[in-house]
Amino acid sequence: MDAMTFVLFGATGDLAKRKIFPAIYNLYLDRKLPESFQLIGLGRRKLSEDEFRSQVAQSLRAFSRRPAADESAVRDFLEHIGYSELNVNELSDYAKLASRIEEREQRFVLPENRVFYMSVAPELFGTIVANLQESGLSRVSGWKRLVIEKPFGHDLESARILNASLAQAFEEKEIFRIDHYLGKPMVQNLEVLEYSNPVLQALWRNRYVANVQITAAETVGVETRAEYYDHSGAVRDMFQNHMLQMLMMLAMQLPKHSTAEEVGFKKRKVMEALRPLQHEGVETSVVRGQYTAGQIGGKQVAGYTEEPGVNPASTTDTYIAARLWIDDYFWSEVPFYIRTGKRLAGKSTRIVIEFKDPADKFSRTNETTAPNLLTIDIGPEAGVTFQLNMKNPLNGKIEPVQIHTAVDEKDVPEAYETLIADMMRGDSTFFAHWDEVELAWQWVQPILNAFERNELPLHTYAAGSNGPEAADRLLEQDGFHWWHDEQLTATQEERKLAETAGVQF
Ligand SMILES: NC(=O)C1=CN([C@@H]2O[C@H](COP(=O)(O)OP(=O)(O)OC[C@H]3O[C@@H](n4cnc5c(N)ncnc54)[C@H](OP(=O)(O)O)[C@@H]3O)[C@@H](O)[C@H]2O)C=CC1
Ligand SMILES: O=C1O[C@H](COP(=O)(O)O)[C@@H](O)[C@H](O)[C@H]1O
């Protein structure tokens, strides 16, 4: 891997502490960093290099997936880490940073390869890029890369403005927009599941699929992020980015090669084929919800508007469900239902593909059978489950059984690790490309408008439930229902039946 200087804006912040440093440390342990690697952390705080390094060491101890128990490994790793005070608004601070970087590049005869990672509030992204350009830091004889955290804009217009400001100094191929869902092993596996399994490949289309459900349910509430979340809501925090990215990864036609260009092209095609919401009206396709007080894991929790930092009159969505249509050859007429929410009954990110019942189902028997389901669990436990129907040898009835394979996640790199390693190699396959981001905002914008004008009812749901009842009706109108956790988990009885029938779990 090329030698590089990694400049981290926001190095004293929460994300750096919990995700970025642990990820880079694990890459170091796996020898996935270049020999000559230097990270310069930036923040406004007055910290000596030693003080900063000891903060980084603490973050490794608290958050690394592999314990930072080996003191000598931690010490060696910290040798690669430096700190500079910098206020992103002060051009003169960039000049000092430039001297520091240039001095090192010259001393060790290193190429001018620079990563600029923006782990700061989104309002600062534009200023940083302008100052990188003004100070000459982004003019390099080697390569340069800009890593940008979410949210990428607040709506379509602000995202376009932000993108135009990045484009002043960076080409699209130099911009790496992080969406950590794209770093999750099962999201990366979606494409592989299809292309490496001819059986699934054959079924992956409207002829056989009745509907697709994509869920990201969380038990956590707004936590300490009210200031951000109350201006964002579920639609901006999860739906516009993570949920639509999962939809693209699932619904895209297989690219010939898994390259950034080809995957990006196929994902864009999905977004272009998404039926604009205006056709059926936001109110018939979208359900907005907000949690009220309730119980989670036997513990009483507050309602959203009682959370610290939340406006007591807030109408912010903590839940959103929507019905989407992809009007292309493969998916037309298949409804895609997407939902995400906080303070729901369980934590799970999951895709369920429900297959159609054959038309002649009743020709042999009057018994109704459960639909075949392919369930892809993205997290917290990754796995794939296939629901089939079998005759129960004990009572002669046809009953659903589940064939399940869990993905062993021990030693599997975290999403940030995978994505940072890809970025260092210059591979943006699993990053959000501008076309996709713009089309996602474009699709979501009517929802933002409708929410802002209060044109949609704000349904409440009790913390610990499966969300507002109105979201059930969204599917009932089409003759379907949500597949919740409890319906997907094999019961003891079903397991016994499957064991008797020789099916392995
Ligand atoms: N935290 C999370 O779980 C997630 C965060 N993100 C995104 O990551 C980014 C960072 O978030 P997070 O770490 O939580 O934020 P924090 O508020 O914890 O950290 C902000 C960082 O920005 C620095 N900073 C603020 N103002 C300036 C300035 N004027 N000049 C220089 N540095 C400045 C702070 O340094 P100092 O205090 O020393 O000035 C600090 O290091 C945001 O874009 C957020 O949306 C995305 C996904 C999840
Ligand atoms: O980006 C975000 O994601 C988390 C959920 O991520 P997961 O990996 O735990 O599924 C969410 O809690 C947060 O609000 C959002 O900003």
Determine phi and psi for 48, rounding to 5 degrees.
-75, 165
Place of tokens 């100070």: 135
Q: What is the mean pLDDT of residues 437-443?
A: 98
pTM: 0.94
Neighbouring residues of 499: CB distance < 8 A, sequence distance ≥ 6: 505
How large is the angle between the packed helices 156-167 and 125-135, nearest 10 degrees? 10
d(CA 98, CA 458): 50
CB neighbourhood size of 495 (10 A): 16
Query: Which residues contact ligand 2 via a Cβ below 6 A?
Result: 216, 218, 237-238, 349
State pLDDT tens for residues 54-111. Answer: 999 999 999 999 887 788 999 999 999 999 999 999 999 999 999 999 998 888 888 9
Reported residue count of the chain is 505
ipTM tops 0.95: yes
Q: Would you name the residues annotated as active-site residues? A: 242
**Residue 40: its H or E element:** strand 37-43
Answer whether 419's CB lies under 8 Å from 427's CB.
Answer: no
CA 433 to centroid of ligand 2, rounded, Å: 20
Atom of ligand 2 nearest to the CA of 241: 1
State pLDDT tens for residues 337-391. Answer: 999 999 999 999 999 999 998 655 555 666 778 999 999 999 999 999 999 999 9
The bridge status of strand 286-292 relative to strand 458-462 is parallel
237 annotated ligand binder: yes
Place of tokens 């949609």: 456
CA 413 to centroid of ligand 2, rounded, Å: 17
pLDDT at position 409 is: 80
State pLDDT tens for residues 122-174. Answer: 999 999 999 999 999 999 999 999 999 988 999 999 999 999 999 999 999 99
Does the structure show a pLDDT above 90 at 193? Answer: yes
CA 420 to centroid of ligand 1, rounded, Å: 18
The bridge status of strand 383-391 relative to strand 398-406 is antiparallel
Beta carbon of 88 within 6 Å of any ligand 1 atom: yes
Burial of 464: CB neighbours in 10 Å, binned 0-12, 13-18, 19+: buried
